[in-house]
């Protein structure tokens, strides 16, 4: 039976470490990190994500700024807002000194706004989501380092390393090639010296490729696509999928499942993350970690 990686517990450990560092920063510089969280419109899921992020900031002593814009906001007004946040260095909130050192624009944006354009306008030094193409370029390139790693891929690597799974020289397979998870995860694994294969919707016989992997990162968005028989005995399986499937036995009428068939795979794998409670709680934690890292650079520079 696989060791089930407890994402909640790992996230809690890291959050304590971050809170400690925020306290140290506050003592040294007399101010705390600030994260501007921009949300456009009233999407229920986006509001729930943003709420989680703001709550997590508050718990760790990071000040979050709420910028709530209406659904109809124009692209140019949103970009103007981003530019203001880019230059905004020191702010006072409730008598507390704070430096707004990170900017997060919650995705997706309404259809009339070009996401790519907006994300490219965020100052590299404040791009805590790590989605700026220049950041991704540096992530891809050898001997270059991005200022921020995208949160979910960073969470996957952190879960592996904190579970004692070594990456160097291992065969890693990433299932999915999204800009947010699959692609940057494969670049991170490559930087960590894994031999990386990227499997996607056009791959024929993905099972035969996945079966060779010492490390599997599943980010395809396909409920329980990866069966137990697809897993190499002893492999480490990180399941990024969060899919709602009908379940009449639940009050809500649905339950969340990953891209991996957990029941089957946990009998074969060496390590596995559950859904929920695996990568999920780690992703917001990595955002907080990025915010802390950005703040440290920002405080140092403006000291």
Binding residues vs a copy of itself (CB under 8 A)? 116, 132-144, 168-169, 177-179, 183, 187, 190, 193, 195-200, 202-204, 209
Which residues, 6 or more positions from 187, have their beta carbon under 8 angstroms from its beta carbon? Answer: 136, 139, 140, 153
Residues catalogued as catalytic: 53, 106, 129
| Cα–Cα distance for residue pair 59/155, rounded to 1 Å | 19
CA torsion sign for 262, 264, 265, 268 is positive
Taking the least distance from each CB to a copy of itself, the nearer of 54 and 232 is 232
**Closest approach of Cβ 184 to a copy of itself, in Å?**
8
CA of 19: how far to CAs of 25, 29, 57, 69, 156, in Å?
10, 15, 9, 29, 21
DSSP state of 229: G
Taking the least distance from each CB to a copy of itself, the nearer of 34 and 206 is 206
Taking the least distance from each CB to a copy of itself, the nearer of 139 and 157 is 139
Taking the least distance from each CB to a copy of itself, the nearer of 90 and 193 is 193
**Closest approach of Cβ 230 to a copy of itself, in Å?**
15
**Closest approach of Cβ 20 to a copy of itself, in Å?**
34
Secondary structure (3-state) at 67: strand
Within 10 A of 45 (CB to CB), how many other CB atoms are there?
A: 9
Which residues, 6 or more positions from 214, have their beta carbon under 8 angstroms from its beta carbon? Answer: 170, 171, 172, 232, 234, 235, 236
**Closest approach of Cβ 157 to a copy of itself, in Å?**
16
């Amino acid at each position: 039976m696989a060791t089930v990686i407890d994402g909640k517990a790992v996230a809690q450990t890291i959050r304590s470490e971050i809170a400690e560092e925020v306290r140290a920063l506050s003592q040294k510089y007399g101010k705390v990190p600030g994260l501007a969280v921009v949300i456009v419109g009233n999407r229920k899921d986006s509001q729930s994500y943003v709420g989680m992020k703001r709550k997590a900031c508050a718990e760790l002593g990071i000040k979050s700024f709420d910028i709530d814009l209406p659904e109809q906001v124009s692209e140019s007004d949103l970009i103007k807002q981003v530019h203001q946040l880019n230059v905004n260095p020191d702010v006072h909130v409730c008598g507390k000194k704070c430096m707004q050192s990170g900017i997060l624009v919650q995705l997706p944006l309404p259809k009339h706004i070009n996401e790519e354009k907006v994300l490219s306008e965020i100052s590299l030094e404040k791009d805590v989501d790590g989605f700026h193409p220049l950041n991704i370029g540096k992530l891809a390139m050898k001997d270059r380092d991005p200022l921020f790693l995208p949160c979910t891929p960073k969470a996957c690597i952190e879960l592996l390393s904190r579970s004692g799974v070594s990456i160097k020289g291992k065969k890693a397979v990433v299932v999915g090639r999204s800009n947010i998870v699959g692609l940057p995860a494969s670049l991170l694994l490559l930087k960590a010296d894994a031999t990386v294969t990227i499997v996607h919707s056009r791959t024929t016989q993905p099972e035969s490729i996945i079966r060779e992997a010492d490390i599997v990162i599943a980010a395809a968005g396909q409920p329980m696509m990866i069966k137990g028989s697809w897993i190499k005995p002893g492999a480490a399986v990180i399941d990024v999928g969060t899919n709602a499937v009908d379940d009449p036995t639940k009050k809500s009428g649905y339950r969340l499942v990953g891209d991996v068939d957990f029941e089957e795979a946990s009998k074969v794998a060496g390590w596995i993350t559950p859904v929920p409670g695996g990568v999920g709680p780690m992703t917001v934690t990595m955002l907080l970690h990025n915010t802390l890292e950005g703040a440290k650079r920002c405080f140092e520079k403006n000291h």
